[in-house]
Amino acid sequence: MYRIIKTILILILSFSLLSSFFLLAILWAFSNNLPDYKFLKNYKPSVSSKVYSGEGELVDDFSTEKRIFVPYNVIPTIVVNSFLSAEDKIFFFHPVLVAKGFLREVFNNF
Q: Which residues contact 59 (CB under 8 A, 6 or more apart)?
A: 51, 52, 53
65, part of any domain? no
24, part of any domain? yes
59, part of any domain? no
28, part of any domain? yes
Global confidence as pTM: 0.35
| Per-residue model confidence (pLDDT) at position 22 | 92
| Per-residue model confidence (pLDDT) at position 21 | 94
Total domains in the chain come to 1
What domain range is 27 assigned to?
Answer: 1-36
20-75 pLDDT per residue, tens: 999 999 888 888 877 777 887 787 777 778 889 988 898 988 888 877 778 889 99
25, part of any domain? yes
* pLDDT for 102 beyond 90: no
What b-and-e string marks burial along 9-40, b requiring 16 or more CB atoms within 10 Å of the CB? eeeeeeeeeeeeeeeeeeeeeeeeeeeeeeee
